[in-house]
Amino acid sequence: MLRKIDWESQIGRRIRLRDLHVFSAVVRCGSMAKAARELGVSQPAVSEVIADLEHMLGVRLLDRGPHGVVSTMYGAALFKRSVTVFDELRQSIRDIEFLSDPTVGELRIGCVESLSATILAESVLQFSRQFPRVAINVDNLTPPAIDLPGLRERKYDCILCWATGPGVDLHLDDLNIEMLFDDKMVVAAGTDSPWARRRRIGLAELVDEPWILPPPRTWGHAYLEEAFRAQGLDVPKATLVSFSIDLRTRLLAAGPYITVFTTSVMRRLRAELRTVARLPIELSPPPRPAAALVTLKNRTLSPLVQQFVKCVRAAAPRSTSRHRPKGTGW
């Protein structure tokens, strides 16, 4: 049986942030030698810190092997909480910076491209008018593998993604999910395409056309597949498979291609470029992907992030916006 650890006498007065920092570096690097180089200290110094931690806690934190070290279940538990400790400290520094000068700071956002081109763009414009000196870092995420580990590892302050579709599971206890709005998928072609001049088009007429399809195992591909099969049709063979809005838009404007966009993307394209037309086709059953804002449930949002969240809510299409879920703490 694991002996009971007295927090006050054994841990509270003895453990140091430096010890946790060294331990976390070893776990991340998978090697004491690599951690020592990263930290700029000697390997014996790293080994001594790990040995002291293990003695203090009375458990083995790392298993040593010829190829490096790996966490034991005790080490994994300590590492998980260490990530939270250091993140909260970083967050406190960011809070202090914001309180001392509300015009500066940094935001880190993960976002899928279709939302990056629409709601995120409008959110950033609104936010930057209020906080022009804040640096915003955005990473494009590729569905269906939304980077939830990046959120849990505090790489991002928040993520904007689709909450529906194959391989997307946001129903997890450690996440705050705020549904922003429902969208719809529509079929599009270039404005010079003969299809753009038609008033009525049957889906069967488009089966043999050159399609640009979203990748398999994404909600766009799944819903398009469902729409074709609902009419007893095979899914068209893709001439090109791509998520890129810019690439698809350029190809639609220059060639005979057909693709699908969300209505929010289509509104932006038609307003800014006028080279893409929505075709008169109602996909059945109509897809209703839901855009969501995702944050960690047990992570206190900095004042700067809270201000950005307000801008995201304001930028969400009001006609289809959803009610904010209760219990989010925002």
Domain 7-88 sits in CATH at 1.10.10.10
Pairwise CA distance, residues 84 & 103, whole Å: 26
Structure tokens belonging to residue 18: 């430096």
DSSP class of residue 300?
P
Say if 101-183+289-320 and 185-278 have the same CATH topology.
yes
Is the previous residue joined to 289 through a cis bond, with omega within 30 degrees of 0?
A: no
Domain boundaries along the sequence of the chain: 7-88, 101-183+289-320, 185-278
Edge-to-edge order in the sheet of strand 238-241:
238-241, 211-213, 258-262, 185-190, 276-278
- pLDDT by residue for the chain (330 residues), tens only, comes to 445 555 555 555 567 888 888 999 999 899 999 999 999 999 999 999 999 888 888 889 999 888 888 999 999 888 888 888 887 788 788 777 777 777 778 899 999 888 988 899 999 999 999 999 899 999 988 765 555 778 877 889 999 988 765 445 556 678 888 989 888 889 999 999 999 999 999 999 999 999 999 888 777 888 888 888 888 998 899 999 998 899 999 999 998 999 999 888 888 887 777 889 999 988 876 556 788 899 988 777 888 889 999 999 999 886 444 444 433 333
Pairwise CA distance, residues 72 & 74, whole Å: 5
303 and 98 in contact (C-beta within 8 Å)? yes
Structure tokens belonging to residue 44: 């014996």
Question: What's the CATH superfamily of 101-183+289-320?
Answer: Periplasmic binding protein-like II (3.40.190.10)
CATH of 185-278, one of 3.40.50.1580, 3.40.190.10, 3.40.605.10, 3.40.710.10: 3.40.190.10
DSSP codes, 120-167: IHHHHHHHHHH-TEEEEEEEEE-TTS--HHHHHTTS-SEEEEES-STT
Pairwise CA distance, residues 84 & 298, whole Å: 9
Q: Tell me how crowded residue 30 is: count the other CB atoms within 10 A of its CB.
A: 15
* φ/ψ of residue 157, rounded to 5: -80, -35
